[in-house]
Homo-oligomer: A and B are copies of this chain.
Amino acid sequence: MIKVVVDCFGGDRSPQANVSGAIKSLNENNDLYLILTGDQEKLEKELSLYTYDKSRLEIVHAKDVISCEEKPTDAIKKNKESSLVVAYDLLRQNDEINALVSTGSTGAVLVGSVLKVGRIKGVNRPAFCPILPTMKNTFVGVCDSGANVDCDPQQLVQFAIMGSLYMQKMFNIEKPRVALLNIGTESTKGDALRKETYELLQNTPSINFVGNMESRDLLSGNYDLIVCDGFSGNVLVKSTEGACLELMKLLKKSFMSGIKNKLGALLLKKEMYRIKNYMDYNNYGGGVMLGTKKTIVKGHGSSKDTAIYHCINQAYNMEKSKLREFISEEITKQTSKE
């Protein structure tokens, strides 16, 4: 049995979307057991709308919710009755619980992963790795993307090892193409951090390092994993998402001006919908923490039920694939060499 605790509050569509997504995943996976945290009454009301195997789901009451305005460290330390902290405490205290899924405050989920769950032995810093769809129908992971704003080269190498294993095991890529985010493709480019990391990555036999990547090529489909510090990784992911969103908004607006455009847009409706859908994170789960003792999946704050369904499936599949064990093994090999 894979046991996943689902924080059912904190997202923009909580708890409806969380419960709906949870049930869909539960009904699909016979060896999945779910623990939902949050306001018991509200969750029971929501659950009453669905048919599911009641022996594989339980509620653990939590009366509070962490807001995105709260300082993450304070929230995790002090808001003990929040759905997220209750979920983290369950994860920490119960060996048989494998994973946690949340759509709440990103900062609080990241802080909780370190304070409540801890690192796999040998891992210097756990990293946050979201994925984006590329123009070649593949996915590209970005590791780290916000958990560690200050990084050293050794940490970046570990991000590469962990992220590569993630892309390999979860997306069936035999030898994920790992690139270092830089301001040019030449090996001599970038600051001291990039130069030193480049050399280390070249000498890391367990990964398929293909060199530097310039930001403009993120969606090209030529790379499977991008290695970066959390600050520039956050900038990379968020500016890409932002640009796509703004451009789609602009197109929508301009397609609605004038009869000719409206007619054209009507004909292209299905195609536009397909593209929007393709880029929509709701259709492919959330970002994951890599290097923590248990599996943690963080969905977008505005996740719909489909997104949460994918996040839970993702956590389930990560456990099934024994990703954590692979990471632990590879990191042990790496650190013993140093």
A residues near B (Cβ < 8 Å) are 71, 107, 135, 146, 149-150, 181, 183-184, 188, 190-192, 194, 214-220, 230-232, 234-251, 254-255, 257, 260-261, 263-268, 271, 274-275, 279
Q: 29 interchain pairs (CB within 8 A)?
A: A135-B246, A146-B183, A149-B183, A149-B191, A149-B194, A150-B191, A183-B238, A191-B231, A214-B238, A214-B242, A215-B237, A215-B242, A216-B241, A218-B242, A218-B243, A220-B242, A232-B235, A235-B235, A235-B236, A236-B239, A243-B243, A250-B275, A254-B275, A261-B267, A263-B267, A264-B264, A265-B268, A267-B267, A268-B268
Tell me if B240 and A183 are in contact (CB < 8 A). Answer: no
Known: A107-B184, A190-B149, A261-B271. A245 touches B232 (CB 8 A): no
Question: A71-B188, A219-B242 given. 7 additional CB < 8 A pairs?
Answer: A135-B249, A149-B183, A150-B191, A183-B231, A235-B239, A247-B247, A264-B271
B residues near A261, Cβ cutoff 8 Å: 267-268, 271
B residues near A214, Cβ cutoff 8 Å: 238, 242
Known: A107-B184, A267-B267, A275-B251. A216 touches B239 (CB 8 A): yes
Min CB gap A178→B, angstroms: 18
Tell me if B231 and A217 are in contact (CB < 8 A). Answer: no
CB closest residue in chain B, given A239: B215
Known: A146-B183, A236-B239, A263-B267. A250 touches B135 (CB 8 A): yes
Tell me if A216 and B242 are in contact (CB < 8 A). Answer: yes
How many angstroms between the C-alpha atoms of A241 and B243 in the bound complex?
A: 8
CB closest residue in chain B, given A249: B135
Tell me if B215 and A238 are in contact (CB < 8 A). Answer: yes
Tell me if A246 and B268 are in contact (CB < 8 A). Answer: no
Pairs of residues from A and B, 4 with the lowest C-beta to C-beta distance, nearest first: A264-B267, A216-B242, A264-B268, A215-B238
How many angstroms between the C-alpha atoms of A184 and B237 in the bound complex?
A: 13
Q: Give how many copies assemble into the complex.
A: 2
B residues near A254, Cβ cutoff 8 Å: 271, 274-275
How many angstroms between the C-alpha atoms of A135 and B267 in the bound complex?
A: 25
B residues near A181, Cβ cutoff 8 Å: 235
B residues near A244, Cβ cutoff 8 Å: 243-244, 247
Tell me if A219 and B246 are in contact (CB < 8 A). Answer: yes
How many angstroms between the C-alpha atoms of A249 and B275 in the bound complex?
A: 12
Tell me if B191 and A215 are in contact (CB < 8 A). Answer: no
B residues near A239, Cβ cutoff 8 Å: 215-216, 218, 235-236, 239-240, 243
How many angstroms between the C-alpha atoms of A250 and B136 in the bound complex?
A: 10
How many angstroms between the C-alpha atoms of A192 and B237 in the bound complex?
A: 21
B residues near A220, Cβ cutoff 8 Å: 242, 246
How many angstroms between the C-alpha atoms of A184 and B188 in the bound complex?
A: 31
How many angstroms between the C-alpha atoms of A191 and B245 in the bound complex?
A: 27
Min CB gap A309→B, angstroms: 25
Which residue of the partner chain, among B217, B230, B238, B271, contacts A255 with CB atoms under 8 Å?
B271
B residues near A242, Cβ cutoff 8 Å: 214-220, 240
Min CB gap A325→B, angstroms: 31
B residues near A267, Cβ cutoff 8 Å: 260-261, 263-264, 267
